[in-house]
Chains A and B, each alone.
Chain A
Amino acid sequence: MERISRAIKRLDFDEKIDGSARYCADIKPEGMLYARTLRSEKARARILAVKIPPLPEGYFIVDHHDIPGKNIVPIVLEDQPFLAAERVNYIGEPIMLVVGTDRQVLEEILAGVQVSYEERPPVLTLEEAVAPQQEYIYGDKPYFVEYRTSRGSLEEARAGASLVVEDEFRTGYQEQAYLETQSVLAVYAEERVTVYGSMQCPYYIKEALVQALGWSEERVRVVQLPTGGGFGGKEEYPSLVAVHAALGAVKSGRPVQLVLERSEDMAATSKRHPAVIRIKSYIDDKQRIIGREIDISIDAGAYAGLSSVVLQRMTFSAGGVYNIENIQVHSRAYATNQVVCGAFRGFGGPQAFFAMEMHMANIARKLGVDSLDLKRKHFFHRGDRSSTGGLFQHDIKLDEIVSEIEQMSAYREKKARGREGGDKLRGIGCAVFFHGCGFTGAGERDLLKSKVRLKKYPDGTVEIFVASTEMGQGVLTTLRKIVAAELELPLQNVIHHYPDTDSCPDSGPTVASRTVMIVGRLLQDCAREIKERWSEDEVDLLREYVYPDNLYWDNECLRGNAYPAYSWGANVVEVKIDPLSFELDVTGVWAVFDVGTPIDEKIVRGQIEGGIVQGLGYGGMEVMRAQQGRLQQTNLTTYMVPTALDFPPVESKLIYNPFEEGPFGARGLGELTLVGAAPALAQAVEDAIGCQLQQIPITPEYIMELMLDDQDD
């Protein structure tokens, strides 16, 4: 293990352990006003009128008329307004804010507002979206974007097949359930607006503010505060609440705090995309999979948001860890009049790997072979090409990962012993998966163009200036470790504050498992240069990301290296099913990952444990469904987030496989740890009950349905 991997005390530990860390809702500047949001009650309607009750002195409203710039969120397709004007497209869409000093009064005003709607027929399911429509939600098609990737020839595959296996899988919504809801504080002073808050991407927010206000960039500033969890849920949504609060601050000249209520946050902010994935595989007479067709539909909700990017990642991950010569993927992100879906740890990967791993298990069953043996036969190796034709130029340690996890979990023995185990049914399942690190395709090169700043002061301290945000994943510690290790400085000589767009360049959003690998590496390069120039009093370096010349990406044809790097992993989950209640009990969890060099062992372990529990929740208890366009689980009583009693500890190991383009050999980690848990869980349940599973979340009700159907057959 590298020396840097040795765990240290987190640099944000002290303020968090004793309650002194000040999150957004803890900060109440003098003269501060509160804001609450009026949201659409209809899934699809024209707004005919909004009747506001008489407002007491000092209370005012903010609506689309108050937007001096463009009432369009600057995100990919530019179809989403900050505040609804003539129409609403989902229940929960923001229409207006009420602002004032007393929350009791705000609540009463909100309750007294009357919106008259002219309802339009909404599109409420993927099935409805696919069917012919009178009035499309976006443009002239039922979907926002469509992708096709292809490698090799399906004709050849069909011709050579002696077995065809076809499956359809479904995945549901998932809610990030960060403990701290969306929160921002906007301050208007001296012709500038500053938004402080809970966020992952200060520069996304800055761009949104500039767009909405129509001001020049220097008049807008964004500062991140300690953030109580993000998981992707604070990638794009904060841009909306930031603009809302800022409009209030500009209108009143007073600071405005906007903190979403939990039920509001759950009902109205971005979720993980539900997906329907169909896979058809062609297998030859030597039990080799020679071709694949994959069809993906995701429910994007009412606006495009980040759906195109999520869909891309799902498309590029759909083939799994398997080297299939002939593979075609066709995917679409459909518009429905439901909550807008967006970023959530894994970002399309969890859906894709659930489908592929379950499908592989099904093929194995049909061939009468062990699923891990079948999977192993098709693993990618260095020198192979991905489903988009990108060359894998580094060692891929899947064989080692799987051997390790088989041993750790005693997978083979447990698989062999069969499902009867006392009064419960036992099962064990294994998922193998990857996560592409960094922005999809050449996004790092074409979209982000990350810049980092590292400054050496005369007193020998060095300060990091990046846009990367600490949300629990350890950014304030890992980036400092990298710089300190490169410069051979004690850690306390390296300074790193929460990002402020006034002083930090745009190093890109804190997403896509890119922060350590890309931003960290850029900082390491700066540190190297500062080391050489250490004799100079002051050195202030700005460095921009350079797309490696051994990578290639064509965004038109979707060909080449879909990601700058990949991290790999396997999960094994063991379950017991109660045949009386169909309840599932996870009795063991194992994980083996290759993330290159861990920058901090404890931080990595924390990400592993947390990501896996979140992934097990996704596979099992986290049920979120919509009915008539309204989410049914919008509080923590009805949406089941795992508690301390629900899952056993995870036994994990890392494979040492340093990545020379990463800082000290590191690759990305944050999302990989969630991706494989649900498919491992699902295969374990299949193993226990002897029925094929085709959807997650796996509830006892679903298990009952499967087992009873099976009995009937």
Chain B
Amino acid sequence: MIRTISFRINGQEVQLQTHPLRRLLDVLRDDLELSGSKEGCGEGECGACSVLLDGRLVNSCLLPVALAEGRDVVTIEGYRQTERFALLRNCFEAAGSVQCGFCTPGMIMAAEALLRENPHPEPGDIRTALSGNLCRCTGYSMIVQAVLLAAREGEGLW
């Protein structure tokens, strides 16, 4: 059962002939060669597959691609071109927030989703915003610190 699904991926229009119930994660990784979004659980628990849909954080492993129709999808591959990413990157480095790296793209997307809504979050707000992104390596605190640092340094960016 093939349908035409049209949406914008990282600012570019795409039109795909595909089954509407395919997971967006599989479409990104297999059809669009965007492997930055990862599969950690396939059931919306770990957040390694997080992308932005019309600016909001979603688990792409749970989203039928039909739900992306006419909407904006941003993955780490698109986001990493931005100035906001550049700052988050420096802050993640400064705070030592990356270990195995598997949760990292999802954490970055979650951080962006938070900061665009709340440019001056408290640590508690950050933890809530990241509560759907699991990390097994860092224990979270250094990631929270990175986001806090980015919020402080990012005057005018968000």
Contacts and interface: CB of A to CB of B under 8 A. Distances in A.
Interface of A: 7, 9-10, 12-13, 15-23, 25-26, 176-181, 226-231, 261-262, 471-474, 602-603, 605-606, 608-614, 635-637, 641-645, 647, 649-650
B131 interface: yes
B16 interface: no
B108 A17 contact: yes
Nearest to B81: A18
Contact of B40 (A10, A180, A472): A180
Interface in B131-155: 131-144
A179 B142 contact: no
Interface in B97-145: 97-105, 108, 126-128, 130-144
Contacts of A18: 36, 76, 80, 85, 89, 105
B46 A179 contact: yes
A32 B48 CA distance: 24
B43 A178 contact: no
B127 A179 contact: no
Contacts of B99: 229, 472-474, 606, 610
Q: Sorted from nearest, which 10 A-B pairs have the closest CB atoms?
A: A19-B36, A16-B101, A472-B100, A228-B102, A472-B99, A609-B139, A602-B96, A19-B76, A613-B139, A26-B35
Contacts of A608: 139
Contact of A177 (B131, B136, B139): B136
Query: Which of A7, A13, A612 counts the most chain B CB atoms within 10 A?
Result: A13
B104 A16 contact: yes
Contacts of A177: 134, 136
Contacts of A180: 38, 40, 100, 102
The SS class assigned to the B binding surface is loop
Interface string B38-76: 111111011010000000000000000000000000011
A382 to B, nearest CB: 32
A19 B105 contact: yes
A643 B136 contact: no
Contact of A605 (B96, B105, B131): B96
A635 B142 contact: no
A625 to B, nearest CB: 19
A16 B80 CA distance: 12
15 contacts: A17-B104, A18-B36, A19-B75, A180-B38, A228-B38, A228-B40, A262-B41, A609-B140, A612-B139, A636-B41, A636-B43, A636-B134, A643-B131, A643-B132, A643-B134
A423 to B, nearest CB: 21
B134 A613 contact: no
Given A19-B76, A644-B127, A262 B140 contact: no
B36 A20 contact: yes
Nearest to B98: A16
Contacts of B35: 19, 22, 25-26
Nearest to A612: B139
A262 B144 contact: no
A343 to B, nearest CB: 15
Contact of B43 (A21, A23, A635): A635
Contact of B136 (A19, A20, A178, A645): A178
Contact of B77 (A19, A228, A229): A19
B102 A23 contact: yes
Contacts of A471: 100
Given A18-B85, A609-B138, A644 B100 contact: no
Contacts of B85: 18
A12 to B, nearest CB: 7
B98 A17 contact: yes
A611 B135 CA distance: 12
A606 B142 contact: yes
B136 A614 contact: yes
B27 to A, nearest CB: 14
B7 interface: no
Contacts of B43: 262, 635-637
B136 A641 contact: yes
B134 A606 contact: no
A552 B103 CA distance: 43
Contacts of A605: 96, 142
Contacts of A179: 38, 40, 46, 48, 100, 102-103, 134-136
B100 A229 contact: yes
Given A17-B93, A180-B40, A10 B98 contact: yes
Contact of A635 (B45, B133, B134): B45
Interface in B14-41: 29, 35-41
Given A7-B96, A179-B136, A636-B134, A21 B141 contact: no
Contact of B102 (A10, A229, A644): A229
Contacts of A649: 141, 144
A602 B97 CA distance: 9
A136 B136 CA distance: 38
Contacts of B36: 18-20
A645 B127 contact: yes
Contacts of B130: 643-644
Nearest to A19: B36
B138 A606 contact: yes
A179 B42 CA distance: 11
A473 B100 CA distance: 7
A644 B41 contact: no
